[in-house]
Amino acid sequence: MKHLISMRDISKKDILEILEEAKKMENLINEKKTSDILKGRILANLFFEPSTRTRLSFETAMKRLGGEVINMIDKGSSIEKGESLIDTIRVVSGYSDIIVIRHPNEGAARLASEYSSVPIINAGDGSNQHPTQTLLDLYTIIREVGKIDNIKIAFLGDLKYGRTVHSLVYALSLFKNVKMIFISPKELKLPEEIKEDLKNKNIEFEEKENLDFDDIDVLYVTRIQKERFADMNEYERVKGTYMIKKEHVEGKDFIIMHPLPRVNEIDYEVDNLKNAKYFKQSFYGVPVRMAILKLLLEGR
């Protein structure tokens, strides 16, 4: 594995290897130990879209393994002078050992990987993919449900533009007997090509518009992706369609995940219920990204 661009590029075996390594990293963090396996290595963060968790957890992960981080910020870089992504990548890959990139255009990370002399990690390309989020989502499911095979998961919210959903649905299709329910307004349904892929693999799924989820193991809630709408009137029509409240959750066993940021999809009163795992999920981003950095950089 040279780059991490899409979940489609990695096998189930690679996924399980990363999840196993992440558990070791989580133990290291919990035991307050440090490591210097990436001492002397430099990670470059190139974020062309807002980020809190992804950027900071990559930075934390690199530092916990003894490495250093450089950041390109949107304002004040030569992008403002009209420098192309390709030129930026050529330059930054000469400064660093690994690049994490988030970009509004689908395919931007793949393009970057064609011009980079160092590994590229896709931290989100438009509505397309967000593979490191998926790996931490899978890790959360393993840690909090205990298994990935044989689970039933409901996805809720913006299934059209949500890249975390697109990546995770694909990854789950590699596991055994995973049942999926897709709940969204009709304007924000899962893209046809992803559904086609599931059908070709004989994976069971249902589509719904109402908050109807029985005997699920995971409720995966997402934000309506305002920045992806071409028509703001359409956004106004669908925003606030769903809000998960205490009454939807109390007495149930499923866990609630959310890649965050939350806008208004989950009521704050849900946060204290045992089902709420979204902050734990964001913590798991650190050990999982430590594992990814180790696997991409060690031995290079």
b or e along 174-183 (b: 16 or more beta carbons within 10 Å of the residue's beta carbon)?
bbeebbbbbb
Active site residue 3: no
166 binds ligand NCD (CB under 6 A): no
Q: 137 or 217: whose CB is closer to ligand NCD?
A: 137
Lay out the site mask for ligand NCD across 56-95 (x = CB under 6 A, - = otherwise). ----------------------------------------
126 binds ligand NCD (CB under 6 A): no
Beta carbons of 151 and 33 less than 8 angstroms apart? no
Question: Strand order of the sheet with strand 42-47?
Answer: 68-72, 42-47, 98-103, 120-125
Lay out the site mask for ligand NCD across 188-227 (x = CB under 6 A, - = otherwise). ----------------------------------xx----
Q: How far is CA 80 from the centre of its chain?
A: 28
124 binds ligand NCD (CB under 6 A): yes
Active site residue 163: no
The catalytic position among 3, 41, 54, 88 is 54
Report the distance separating Cα 149 and Cα 200, nearest Å.
Answer: 19
Token pair recorded at residue 107: 């395919």
CA-wise closest residue to 102 among 23, 181, 164: 164
Minimal distance in Å, beta carbon 12 to ligand NCD? 23
3 binds ligand NCD (CB under 6 A): no
Active site residue 102: yes
54 binds ligand NCD (CB under 6 A): yes
Q: Phi and psi of 109, rounded to 5°? A: -70, -40
**Count of residues interacting with ligand NCD (CB under 6 A):** 11
195: left (phi over 0), alpha (psi -120 to 50) or beta: alpha
Beta carbons of 190 and 163 less than 8 angstroms apart? no
Minimal distance in Å, beta carbon 128 to ligand NCD? 10
Which residues belong to the active site? 53-54, 81, 102, 130
Contacting residues toward ligand NCD, per CB under 6 A? 53-54, 124, 130, 133, 163-164, 222-223, 259-260
